[in-house]
Amino acid sequence: VSAVESRGGAAGEDGASLMGARVERLAELLRKDGVDRLLVGAPVDVRYLTGFTGSSGLALISAEERAQHRFFTDFRYETQAAAQVPADFAREIVAIDLLEGALKALKPRARETGSRGTLGFDEASTTVKQHVRLREQLPPGWDLMPCGGLVASLREVKDEDERKRIRAAAELADAALGEVLEQGLVGRGERDVAIELELRMRRLGAEGPSFPSIVAAGSHSALPHAEPRAVAIPRDTLLTIDWGAQLDGYCSDCTRTYATGTLSEEARAVYELVLRAQEAALAAVRPGPSGPEIDAVAREIIEAAGHGEHFGHGLGHGVGLEVHEAPRLSRTASQQPLRAGNVVTVEPGVYLPGRFGVRIEDLVLVGEDGGEALSGLPKELTEVS
Ligand code: ZN
Ligand code: ZN
């Protein structure tokens, strides 16, 4: 392993203080848990803490002092890391293996200080092979401790910069769908509409869609995760569009269900039911209630109307650097209360197999006094042609 050490990033001052605040919050958690260093390798976690957007990066966070934070990458990313990773991190270019480089940076403990060191790692993103290497190459005086979910738990509460980015991603996605609706939908292939939606999101500045768009008409809308088909969208049916943009690393996620003409009484009634459940759950979003409690608000309304068995998925999920992250809103989610700064979706659905489905989804920022929907398109039943 050859290491070229450098310090001092060209990351803007704002970016540097932002990352610094996140790393400091993490260091506090580490001190509370008795962890001296934390290895961070999951790319979204690395990006969150260091701003580095490349695919090969590893951060070693110190609980003890800022001067000990280190960032490892390989030579392909030397320039990018210098531009993105703030000066709080000593940067090292590692020739062979990032993990090996990070372990070499740990000084043997017991001999020097008389006390052992604890190295935390994320058991969820560490492969069995990496774990074997960790155990074999761990310097004397160090112990390993699984610390999975620590960075993810920080990421659950979005800071001001993240809120701004998610809001912008949601606005961009709304604008792209608005453009697609203007072109008309009936008679066009589902797949064709999905491709155009993604193209428009990219033209408006998105890195890409935050997940493969769903465009599902008629009986296909009864599949919650329908794949768009090369089938023309017919008149007089329901059409579900579930889409999101990724902008500056952050995702959006939204669903609207439209009428492509005249609907049956039953389809209209199901639409109104899902909308009522969605708005009730939306109104319940605030700091305090848990994911299962918010889920129950929508579920009770849908169950009371006799459609409980047709709402087979959870009510929603957190959104941030990843389109599905904590906290979850579902029957089986953690009992931890929602916190101000969480960004979650509220997306009840009713699916009648072989017939039709309705899902309405908003992206919601949990504020001190309640939820604020970041998706702005109207929700009353709208006819598109
Ligand atoms: Zn969605
Ligand atoms: Zn969603």
Measured from the alpha carbon of residue 255, the closest ligand is 1
Strands 37-40 and 117-121: parallel
Q: What is the pLDDT of residue 278?
A: 98
Q: What is the pLDDT of residue 112?
A: 56
CA–centroid distance, 11 to ligand 2, in Å, is 32
Q: What is the pLDDT of residue 111?
A: 60
Instruction: Convert the pLDDT of each residue in 210-242 to its tens digit.
Output: 999 999 999 999 999 899 999 999 999 999 999
CA–centroid distance, 235 to ligand 1, in Å, is 24
Instruction: Convert the pLDDT of each residue in 163-212 to its tens digit.
Output: 999 999 999 999 999 999 999 999 999 999 999 999 999 999 999 999 99
CA–centroid distance, 368 to ligand 2, in Å, is 23
Q: What is the pLDDT of residue 114?
A: 66
CA–centroid distance, 134 to ligand 2, in Å, is 36
Query: Low-confidence residues of the chain, pLDDT below 50?
Result: 1-5, 8-10
CA–centroid distance, 126 to ligand 2, in Å, is 27
